[in-house]
Amino acid sequence: MRCIKIIILCCVVFITSCQKDDIFIGPELPKYNMIFESPISQVGNGEEISFNTTSDEKHQLIITQINGSVITKESFIPTIGLNHRVIYTSILPKGELILILRTPNSEISKTRIIVE
């Protein structure tokens, strides 16, 4: 009789321990368009671009034509690390342009962008 009780107890423990595991799938992490990591990027109107900075001094994002004439210039004070800016291309000429990130003293990064 005692053997039957042990077998029943083992069966109950075995059945209750075999439950399906809940797998949690978290929200998808945002994908950043690290604009200065590639030599040429395609951008659309209202697209968010991202870049890293190593100082919190005043920076400028400058969009120029291939011949060097400035189309737009934005000054801002970034945070150290990853920064995000929204680029509006509806007033820009279509085609290939140059995007420059600079401080008052030096040019930090430069890339070509294709405006859709």
- The pLDDT tens digits for 26-68 are 777 667 779 999 999 999 999 999 999 999 999 999 999 999 9
- Could you tell me the CATH number of the domain that includes residue 71? 2.60.40.2550
Q: Is residue 108 part of a domain?
A: yes
Q: Is residue 30 part of a domain?
A: no
Mean pLDDT, residues 88-109 taken together: 93
pLDDT (0 to 100) of residue 11: 76
> Does the pLDDT at position 108 exceed 90?
yes
Q: Is residue 71 part of a domain?
A: yes
- H or E stretch at 13: helix 2-17
Q: Is residue 97 part of a domain?
A: yes
Residues in the chain: 116
pLDDT (0 to 100) of residue 63: 95
Alpha-carbon distance of 48 to 70, in angstroms, equals: 21
Q: Is residue 60 part of a domain?
A: yes
Q: Is residue 63 part of a domain?
A: yes
Residues 6+ apart with CB under 8 A from 110: 36, 98, 99, 100, 101
Q: Is residue 76 part of a domain?
A: yes
Q: Is residue 43 part of a domain?
A: yes
Total number of domains constituting the chain: 1
DSSP label at residue 11: H
